Amino acid sequence: MIAPQNSPAELFATVVANGYCIGCGACAAFDPAIQIRFDDYGRYVATHPAERFPINPAAAHVCPFADGVPDENALAREIFGQHITLDPHIGHQLATYAGWVVESDFRARGSSGGLASWLLVELLNRRMVDYAVHVAPEPGTVAGAPLFRFAISSTPDEVRAKSKSRYYPVEMSGVITRMLQQPGRYAVVGIPCFIKAIRLACRESAALKERVTFTVGIVCGHLKSTSFAELFAWQCGIAPSELRSIDFRTKLPERPASSYAVSIEGERDGRRFTVTKPTSELIGSNWGQGFFKYKACDFCDDVVGETADISIGDAWLPEYEPDPAGTNVVVVRSPTLNSLLAEAVAAGRLHFDSISAGKVVESQAGAFRHRRQGLSYRLQLEDQVGGWRPTKRVAPSANHLTPKLREIYELRYELGQFSHVAFAAAKVKQKLGAFVELMKPLVVRYERHYRRPFPLRVLGKIKRTIRGLLRSKP
């Protein structure tokens, strides 16, 4: 392992050179020599001119995957103190809930229960913040341009127009620079590693620390490259060059919340058109396979955003998932926000059920297994080959896994990394089938581990047949 880094040169020699850059852009906001650009696989990465390295040491101190920076536990202790409960999976927490927004159409317009947009609007309406920093569709998109970007909203209408989940790469250098230059109170929304970068940036800038009033963490499975949107579009008959916009979470009435659709707008011969298709019908929709995952995501141990004042995600729990309208799972760490939410619940504006921290973990069970027991094994593998990798709170080990689980985690990592190469090759050939054929051997090996025994498959088919016959009776 390389010693903890203190300079931007070491940052590029470790994090960037070894593929662990998440492209958040925090470093670029502190040194203009750094630029955040798309690589050949549609991932944002930090770059620097060959003639010189960045000169501002702060650039190395705000990277969420750098050595020598505080981990999530240390940052959370600085921010929230010792007076609130520390859970080994979700971090510090004052309260944990599952619920949704009752008032207006926040829930209908959101990906899940509508809480993230509601909270930003509430903070603006109460004049607790002046601006909301969140991800928005890129207006006037043309071929090859990014579909989403970080934006700063100052009105409730602007916030509401930018709701929903975005499974797409974005970077924060521009909005951090603006926050450094423009006084005001900001609420910042981001996935866990981005919120960690914001917290680290606040340690480097007193002005930023004063201006970032609230942080909202979005529970994260992993970050996708641009290829994820392009793959979905291509399967809907829209070539990557024709893709203009995408809604990753279109709710389907009378279906469980987890059974949603994707709506894609394309442009062909000057004409715009939209295709909507259930996500389950599309290759790449299995998040366990991890197509187009950043390498850094396989070396992250924060699922919920442990340094955020509040974390919001999907309540993938049996008691909530059947509701097609969607339900949020919520972890609150800020006393101010906890009081705000309690007041809204009492007024009937929110519907919240108190749940345990264990229920929050259960709602994201697959992600926690992958980020804890799976991460431990990936760290062990990296250490065996002597490669540099980020220092994590999880200890390297292989002894806790069966041979089957070891192969599953190895295949997941290989699927994620090879998918970038395979899709790039398919785009060169302009053949979607080329991607499918390249990925097929790995996918077959992976799915074989999840295939049920033959007698159970037969029994399931019999049950489905009987249910179909019963439904068809007059």
Same domain (yes/no): 347, 418 = no
287 belongs to a structural domain: no
Same domain (yes/no): 253, 155 = no
Give tens-digit pLDDT for 294-331: 999 999 999 999 999 999 999 999 999 999 999 999 99
Q: What is the pLDDT of residue 2?
A: 36
Looking at residue 454, its amino acid is F
Same domain (yes/no): 81, 136 = yes
Residue 393 to residue 376: CA distance in whole angstroms: 9
Boundary-marking domain end, from 365, 386, 415 = 365
Q: Give yes or no for residue 173 having a pLDDT over 50.
A: yes
Give tens-digit pLDDT for 84-97: 889 999 999 999 99
Residue 272 to residue 398: CA distance in whole angstroms: 51
Q: Which domain holds residue 430?
A: 399-456
Residue 329 to residue 100: CA distance in whole angstroms: 9
Give tens-digit pLDDT for 67-82: 999 999 999 999 998 7
Q: What is the pLDDT of residue 48?
A: 87
Give tens-digit pLDDT for 332-359: 999 999 999 999 999 999 999 999 999 9
Q: Give yes or no for residue 4 having a pLDDT over 60.
A: no
Name the domain count of the chain.
Answer: 3
465 belongs to a structural domain: no
Give tens-digit pLDDT for 386-425: 989 999 999 999 999 999 999 999 999 999 999 999 999 9
Same domain (yes/no): 114, 64 = yes
Q: What is the pLDDT of residue 149?
A: 95
373 belongs to a structural domain: no
Same domain (yes/no): 445, 335 = no
165 belongs to a structural domain: yes
β-bridge mates for residue 262, sequence order: 277
Pairing of strands 212-218, 186-190: parallel
Residue 354 to residue 339: CA distance in whole angstroms: 14
Same domain (yes/no): 300, 407 = no
Q: Out of 1-5, 397-401, 455-459, which region has the weakest mean confidence (pLDDT)?
A: 1-5
Which of the four pLDDT bands, split at 50, 70 and 90, describes residue 381? very high
3-state secondary structure of 391: coil
Residue 123: what are its φ and ψ, rounded to 5°? -65, -40
Q: Give yes or no for residue 471 having a pLDDT over 90.
A: no
Same domain (yes/no): 299, 421 = no
Pairing of strands 131-137, 148-153: antiparallel
Which of the four pLDDT bands, split at 50, 70 and 90, describes residue 474? very low
pTM: 0.92
Look up residue 172 and give its DSSP letter.
Answer: -
175 belongs to a structural domain: yes
Lookup: tokens for 141: 């998109």
Pairing of strands 328-332, 310-314: antiparallel
Boundary-marking domain end, from 346, 365, 384 = 365
Spell 14-36 as b/e; 16+ CB within 10 A means b.
bbbebbbbbbbbbbbbbbebbeb
Same domain (yes/no): 337, 216 = yes
Same domain (yes/no): 262, 326 = no
Residues 6+ apart with CB under 8 A from 234: 240, 432
Boundary-marking domain end, from 259, 281, 303 = 281
| Orientation angle between helical segments 432-448 and 403-429, nearest 10 degrees | 170
Which of the four pLDDT bands, split at 50, 70 and 90, describes residue 371? very high
Give tens-digit pLDDT for 195-249: 999 999 999 999 999 999 999 999 999 999 999 999 999 999 999 999 999 999 9
Same domain (yes/no): 314, 340 = yes
Question: Within 10 A of 154 (CB to CB), how many other CB atoms are there?
Answer: 13
101 belongs to a structural domain: yes
> If you average pLDDT over each of 17-26, 44-53, 464-473, which comes out highest?
17-26
Q: What is the pLDDT of residue 85?
A: 86
Sign of CA dihedral 172, 106, 80, 373: negative
Q: What is the pLDDT of residue 54?
A: 67
Same domain (yes/no): 304, 449 = no
Same domain (yes/no): 18, 51 = yes
Q: Give yes or no for residue 1 having a pLDDT over 70.
A: no
Lookup: tokens for 447: 């799915």
**Region of 430 on the Ramachandran plot (φ > 0 left; ψ -120 to 50 alpha; else beta):** left
Spell out where 75-175 has E strands. Answer: 85-87, 91-93, 95-101, 131-137, 148-153
380 belongs to a structural domain: no
Averaged pLDDT of the chain? 91
379 belongs to a structural domain: no
